Homo-oligomer: A and B are copies of this chain.
Amino acid sequence: MREPFHPSADSLDLVAILAALSDPTRLTILIRLAEADAAIRCGDFTDLATKSNLSYHFAKMREAGLVSLRSEGTSRFLALRRNDIERQFPGLLDQLIASAKRMEDKPLNSQSAAPTDAAESKPQRKRV
């Protein structure tokens, strides 16, 4: 399979990185990669979304320079580009991972104090 384009370490763009992580599915992918501390087969994420949708999310993360993708047989493996990101933005990735974990523990369900005053709520899109 054709190896896809990966941005060089020193062309990493913070805006792209943050955009790539401002999505619940991709944040979850990040957490799993961080906890595994190793490459993960793409197929191991199929609980998160459909195959084609995952392909889309992987591409987003790859284009942002967050992950690298390599083929092995009929499978594909996803790996965090820890060193490259650390070089450009020291400390950032660990902090993002820590915050993401903290978020998944308390998944925003704790609706503190009656929000009677028509508080705006994020749509949290899913079905189309």
Show the binding face of A for B, using Cβ within 8 Å. Answer: 5, 7-8, 10-11, 13-16, 18-19, 21-24, 27, 63, 88-89, 91-92, 95-96, 98-100, 102-103, 108, 110-113, 117, 119-120, 122
Contacts and interface: CB of A to CB of B under 8 A. Distances in A.
Given A22-B18, A63-B120, A11 B111 contact: yes
- The secondary structure that dominates the A interface is helix
A104 B100 CA distance: 25
A89 B106 CA distance: 12
Contact of A95 (B10, B21, B95): B95
B8 A112 contact: yes
A15 B23 contact: yes
